[in-house]
């Protein structure tokens, strides 16, 4: 029995930016005299989130207190995890990885970086140097099951992968969302807290919200119009919108016009994609498409925004591209109320170097060993991870490091990856949990709870709908002798590079990063410290070390920085400490052409590789006219966060959430009954899952949320194990991906569905 006791009184409060999703809400943590977390609520004074939070924010208390969360490193001995001290753990990690390198070379190492790397300071500032220290090209991340198509299209169009135009939701008159459900996901590649309130505000000021989604989501529920498109059909719809805009003389690029190149070329490519031609493929009536196009052109300001339903799809990169082309063609690129560029206080590639002109992005510089798939932005597609581990031969991955990832639940053909991980000679995980993936590790190095770490959203501020700078210091002290995540990464990088564990001092790495950052700043023509002496700047940073010193350096040399005296009113780390609720840097402002880093100095709207891929889309237009079987899509749930919050009982309890959404017509036809099991089969595998019959999904489409399937033996997730659900990525196929980006198709997987039987005892 759990003992019920009254919560102790709050004796102090502390602030913490929530690291769980892109909204980055400011939280206020109430602590007792004994430093127990009493409650967590939204910080009403936060300049960014003004008190907003979702049910996951308060769950930071439960994550912090979770008895399953690792507090000390573990190593595997005779098939069991045994707690060891930090020195011993690093020695073991160094020995294991060192053996692989000695026998097979550095290319026998692989690394997988998961989503939380962009949500904590250690990952954001120290993971790149860590990967460099491993010295391998076998770099995999969650990006190729996520936003990589958008990074590639943005890189090609604007010159930098994170120059992603975000919807100016606070000023737009007309927002069209494709494949996004921000009311449940809290938004992505458009960092903003309180999407429900912001969508409501668009309508309250007389604007219009349109949701294009095969499912009637909570976001669609709030919208003026819901267009239930067929999965994977967004590029056809977008081309048809361009087709109508061109045919009806509605193209007007507005203020961005002088900086656009290739618009006419893309409009030419749209010619075959008439509303009538795409109607059978999209399932959207031609009349609706015409109406949508005219409404976009007529609105005083408008913005099309696409998210995971459009990127984890067969034509993810084309779709990501066309979203921006439609915005450009309607005069909405880079104007208030349209799609705009953030101007982050630190870390922005589009505020460094010469304005307007740059090298752009280079893709396909090397290829994966087994299938020969091209790299992008220094990474290989994660659809090749399993085969690179389980296919013998020179260059086979025999040693792996995962940092903040759970690819067994989050990447395609999971069963194969699961089996492959079991055969590794060395596997070191940096992760606070023994989960479906890390259960295969030989060494697990945990990281402190979010409440024990400082925070700044370096990555997400590149994608914010308003410019702010915020830092929150650790709420609680770490246990003495427990390293922060940056120290874990720094020390692991050193031992992996062959340094003796005793000599592997994280300060060496920290000093080196600061030295390189300062050297880059003084050489950068956009920096307020251009031409200064790097050593003098470093000396000016004082006694701080670790992320705080690095943040100070980046802030001071960034676009709002004090430039070490050059702009006395500018930002420093001390400014942020003095403004605990954040510093508001104002609404987004037009940034063309200076935001560009393209070779031509123009927005390159018709890049060669994208134009070339249109042939594949045209072929698909003909292929798909008839014969539609059932297809599987995913969904996100407010009380869930990818795979790793299911161990928090207040979030998972209640009726089962991992269900198969089926339209009543399909249920009747297929003999499926609400609450009864169905067997869902793809080319990759099969799962048995309870049916949830609902009119909210388009006929012919079924939906399973990802991140579930906590029934694998050996994981240490007491709560999650009781609410296991099924792993939807058992169904995702590792040979179905967008060729330009290597991004897996997670939405639009052909499946068969029939009544199923739950396994005995299940």
Ligand X SMILES: Nc1nc2c(c(=O)[nH]1)N[C@H]1C(S)=C(S)[C@@H](COP(=O)(O)OP(=O)(O)OC[C@H]3O[C@@H](n4cnc5c(=O)[nH]c(N)nc54)[C@H](O)[C@@H]3O)O[C@H]1N2
Q: Does 640 bind ligand X (CB under 6 A)?
A: yes
What whole-number distance in Å separates Cα of residue 187 and Cα of residue 464?
10
Q: Does 320 bind ligand X (CB under 6 A)?
A: no
Instruction: Give the shortest CB-21-to-ligand SF4 separation in angstroms.
Output: 3
- The listed partner (ligand X, Mo ion, ligand SF4, none) that binds 213, CB under 5 to 8 Å by sort, is ligand X
Q: Which is nearer to ligand X, 49 or 410 (CB)?
A: 410
Q: Which is nearer to ligand X, 635 or 712 (CB)?
A: 635
What whole-number distance in Å separates Cα of residue 387 and Cα of residue 159?
32
Binding mask 55-94 for ligand X (x = CB under 6 A): ----------------------------------------
Positive or negative: CA dihedral 592, 596, 602, 605: negative
- The listed partner (ligand X, ligand SF4, Mo ion, none) that binds 25, CB under 5 to 8 Å by sort, is ligand SF4
What whole-number distance in Å separates Cα of residue 759 and Cα of residue 645?
25
Which residue from 216, 431, 253 is spatially nearest to 334, judged by alpha carbons? 253
Looking at residues 98 to 117 of the shown chain, list those that interact with ligand X (rule: CB under 6 A).
114-116
Instruction: Give the shortest CB-653-to-ligand X separation in angstroms.
Output: 16
Looking at residues 144 to 173 of the shown chain, list those that interact with Mo ion (rule: CB under 5 A).
146
Three-class secondary structure of residue 349 per DSSP: helix
Q: How far is CA 13 from the centre of its chain?
A: 30
What whole-number distance in Å separates Cα of residue 18 and Cα of residue 205?
30
Choosing from 231, 454, 582, 677, the residue that interacts with ligand X (CB under 6 A) is 231
Q: Scanning the structure block, which residue is given the tokens 């006694």? A: 543
Helix (H) or strand (E) holding 341: none
Q: Which is nearer to ligand SF4, 193 or 685 (CB)?
A: 193
- The listed partner (ligand X, ligand SF4, Mo ion, none) that binds 181, CB under 5 to 8 Å by sort, is ligand X
Q: Of 24-32, 183-191, 456-464, 655-663, which segment contacts ligand X by CB under 6 A?
A: 183-191
Q: Which is nearer to ligand X, 142 or 691 (CB)?
A: 142
Instruction: Give the shortest CB-190-to-ligand SF4 separation in angstroms.
Output: 13
Looking at residues 443 to 462 of the shown chain, list those that interact with ligand X (rule: CB under 6 A).
447
Q: Which DSSP state fits 476? A: S
222 close to 569: Cβ distance less than 8 angstroms: no
Instruction: Give the shortest CB-407-to-Mo ion separation in angstroms.
Output: 13
Q: How many residues bind Mo ion (CB under 5 A)?
A: 1
Instruction: Give the shortest CB-43-to-ligand SF4 separation in angstroms.
Output: 11
- The listed partner (ligand X, Mo ion, ligand SF4, none) that binds 18, CB under 5 to 8 Å by sort, is ligand SF4
Q: Does 728 bind ligand X (CB under 6 A)?
A: yes
- The listed partner (ligand X, Mo ion, ligand SF4, none) that binds 116, CB under 5 to 8 Å by sort, is ligand X
Choosing from 61, 706, 710, 736, the residue that interacts with ligand X (CB under 6 A) is 706
Choosing from 121, 127, 131, 313, the residue that interacts with ligand X (CB under 6 A) is 313
Positive or negative: CA dihedral 213, 217, 220, 226: positive
Instruction: Give the shortest CB-14-to-ligand X separation in angstroms.
Output: 18
Q: Does 727 bind ligand X (CB under 6 A)?
A: no
Q: Which is nearer to ligand X, 583 or 753 (CB)?
A: 753
Q: Does 146 bind ligand X (CB under 6 A)?
A: yes
List residues bridging with 701 in a β-sheet. Answer: 631
Q: Of 125-133, 386-394, 512-520, 642-650, which segment contacts ligand X by CB under 6 A?
A: 642-650
Q: Does 22 bind Mo ion (CB under 5 A)?
A: no
What whole-number distance in Å separates Cα of residue 495 and Cα of residue 493?
6
Structure tokens at 397: 């991955």
Give whole-number Cα distances, 359 to 95, 376, 554, in Å. Answer: 40, 15, 23
Residues in the chain: 762
What whole-number distance in Å separates Cα of residue 281 and Cα of residue 276?
10
Q: Does 431 bind ligand X (CB under 6 A)?
A: yes
Q: How far is CA 154 from the centre of its chain?
A: 15
Q: Which is nearer to Mo ion, 140 or 236 (CB)?
A: 140
Q: How many residues bind ligand X (CB under 6 A)?
A: 64
Q: Does 188 bind ligand X (CB under 6 A)?
A: yes
Q: Does 24 bind ligand X (CB under 6 A)?
A: no
Choosing from 172, 191, 410, 741, the residue that interacts with ligand X (CB under 6 A) is 410
Q: Which DSSP state fits 572? A: -
Q: Give every CB contact of residue 609 below 8 A, 6+ residues apart in sequence.
A: 156, 363, 740
Q: Which is nearer to Mo ion, 146 or 234 (CB)?
A: 146
DSSP readout, 2-22? Answer: PPP-PPPPP-EEEEEE--SST
Q: Give every CB contact of residue 348 below 8 A, 6+ residues apart in sequence.
A: 162, 342, 462, 558, 559
What backbone phi and psi angles, to 5 degrees, belong to 743? -80, 135
What whole-number distance in Å separates Cα of residue 161 and Cα of residue 141?
15
Q: Which residue is nearest to ligand SF4 (CB)?
A: 57
Helix (H) or strand (E) holding 216: none
What whole-number distance in Å separates Cα of residue 258 and Cα of residue 415?
51
What whole-number distance in Å separates Cα of residue 625 and Cα of residue 616?
15
Q: Of 87-95, 159-167, 324-332, 741-749, which segment contacts ligand X by CB under 6 A?
A: 741-749
What whole-number distance in Å separates Cα of residue 658 and Cα of residue 730?
14
Give the chain's count of helices (H) and strands (E).
Answer: 25, 33
Residues that bind ligand SF4 (CB under 6 A): 18, 20-21, 23-25, 53-54, 56-57, 186, 193
- The listed partner (Mo ion, ligand SF4, ligand X, none) that binds 232, CB under 5 to 8 Å by sort, is ligand X
Three-class secondary structure of residue 319 per DSSP: helix
Structure tokens at 430: 């940096």
- Note the residues at the interface with Mo ion (CB under 5 A): 146
- Note the residues at the interface with ligand X (CB under 6 A): 21, 114-116, 120, 142, 145-146, 178-182, 184-186, 188, 212-215, 217, 229, 231-232, 234, 307-310, 312-313, 403-407, 410, 430-433, 435, 447, 485, 633-638, 640-644, 706-707, 728-729, 732, 746-748
């Amino acid at each position: 029995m759990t003992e019920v006791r009254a919560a102790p009184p709050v004796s102090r409060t502390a602030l913490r930016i929530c690291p769980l999703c892109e909204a980055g809400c400011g939280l206020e943590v109430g602590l007792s005299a004994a430093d127990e977390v009493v409650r967590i609520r939204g910080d009403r004074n936060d300049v960014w989130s003004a008190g907003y939070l979702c049910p996951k924010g308060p769950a930071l208390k439960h994550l912090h207190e979770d008895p399953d969360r690792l507090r000390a490193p573990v190593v595997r001995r005779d098939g069991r995890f045994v707690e060891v001290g930090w020195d011993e753990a690093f020695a073991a990690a160094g020995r294991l990885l060192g053996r692989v390198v000695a026998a097979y070379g550095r290319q026998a190492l692989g690394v997988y970086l998961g989503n939380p790397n962009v949500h904590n300071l250690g990952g954001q500032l120290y993971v790149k140097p860590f990967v460099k220290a491993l010295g391998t090209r076998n770099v995999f991340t969650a990006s190729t099951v996520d936003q990589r198509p958008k990074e590639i299209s943005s890189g090609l169009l604007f010159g930098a992968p994170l120059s992603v135009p975000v919807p100016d939701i606070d000023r737009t008159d007309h927002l069209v969302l494709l494949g996004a459900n921000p009311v449940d996901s809290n938004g992505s590649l458009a960092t903003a807290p309180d999407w429900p309130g912001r969508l409501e505000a668009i309508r309250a000021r007389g604007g219009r919200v349109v949701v294009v989604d095969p499912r009637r989501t909570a976001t669609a529920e709030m919208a003026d119009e819901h267009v239930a498109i067929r999965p994977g059909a967004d590029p056809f719809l977008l081309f048809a919108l361009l087709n109508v805009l061109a045919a009806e003389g509605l193209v007007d690029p507005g203020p961005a016009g002088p900086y656009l190149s290739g618009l006419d070329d893309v409009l030419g490519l749209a010619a075959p994609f008439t509303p009538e031609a795409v109607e059978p493929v999209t399932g959207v009536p031609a009349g609706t498409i015409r109406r949508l196009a005219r409404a976009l052109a007529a609105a005083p300001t408008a913005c099309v925004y696409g998210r995971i339903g459009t990127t984890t799809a067969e034509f993810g990169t084309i779709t990501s591209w066309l979203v921006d082309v439609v915005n450009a063609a309607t005069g909405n690129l880079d104007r208030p109320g349209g799609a705009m560029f953030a101007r982050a206080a630190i870390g922005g590639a589009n505020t460094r170097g010469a304005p307007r002109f740059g090298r752009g992005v280079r893709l396909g510089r090397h290829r994966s060993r087994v299938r020969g798939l091209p790299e992008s932005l220094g990474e290989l597609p994660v659809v090749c991870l399993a085969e690179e581990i389980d296919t013998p031969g020179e260059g086979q991955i025999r040693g792996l490091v995962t940092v903040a990832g759970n690819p067994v639940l989050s990447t395609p053909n999971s069963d194969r990856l699961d089996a492959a991980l079991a055969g590794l000679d060395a596997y070191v995980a940096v992760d606070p949990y023994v989960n479906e993936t890390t259960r295969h590790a030989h060494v697990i190095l945990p990281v402190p709870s979010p409440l024990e770490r400082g925070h700044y959203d370096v990555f997400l501020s590149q994608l914010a709908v308003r410019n702010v700078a915020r830092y929150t210091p650790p709420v609680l002290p770490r246990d003495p002798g427990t390293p922060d995540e940056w120290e874990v990464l720094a020390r692991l990088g050193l031992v992996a590079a062959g340094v003796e564990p005793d000599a592997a001092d994280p300060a060496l790495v920290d000093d080196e990063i600061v030295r390189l950052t300062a050297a880059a700043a003084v050489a950068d023509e956009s920096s307020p410290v251009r031409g200064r002496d790097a050593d003098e700047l470093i000396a000016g940073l004082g006694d701080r070390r670790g992320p705080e010193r690095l943040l100070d350096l980046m802030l001071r040399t960034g676009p709002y920085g004090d430039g070490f005296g050059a702009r006395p009113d500018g930002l420093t780390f001390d400014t942020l400490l003095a403004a605990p609720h954040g510093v508001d840097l104002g609404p987004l402002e037009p940034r063309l052409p200076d935001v560009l880093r393209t070779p031509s100095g123009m927005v390159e709207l018709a890049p060669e590789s994208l134009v070339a891929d249109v042939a594949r889309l045209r072929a698909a237009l003909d292929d798909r006219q008839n014969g539609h079987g059932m297809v599987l899509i995913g969904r996100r749930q407010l009380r869930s966060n990818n795979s790793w919050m299911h161990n928090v009982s207040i979030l998972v309890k209640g009726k089962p959430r991992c269900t198969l959404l089926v339209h009543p017509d399909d249920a009747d036809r297929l003999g499926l009954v609400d609450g009864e099991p169905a067997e869902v089969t793809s080319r990759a595998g099969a799962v048995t899952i309870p049916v949830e019959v609902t009119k909210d999904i388009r006929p012919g489409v079924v939906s399973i949320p990802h991140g579930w399937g906590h029934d694998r033996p050996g994981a240490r997730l007491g709560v999650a194990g009781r609410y296991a659900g099924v792993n939807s990525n058992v169904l995702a196929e590792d040979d179905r991906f967008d060729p330009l980006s290597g991004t897996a198709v997670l939405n639009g997987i052909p499946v068969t569905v029939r009544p199923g039987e739950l396994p005995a005892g299940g």
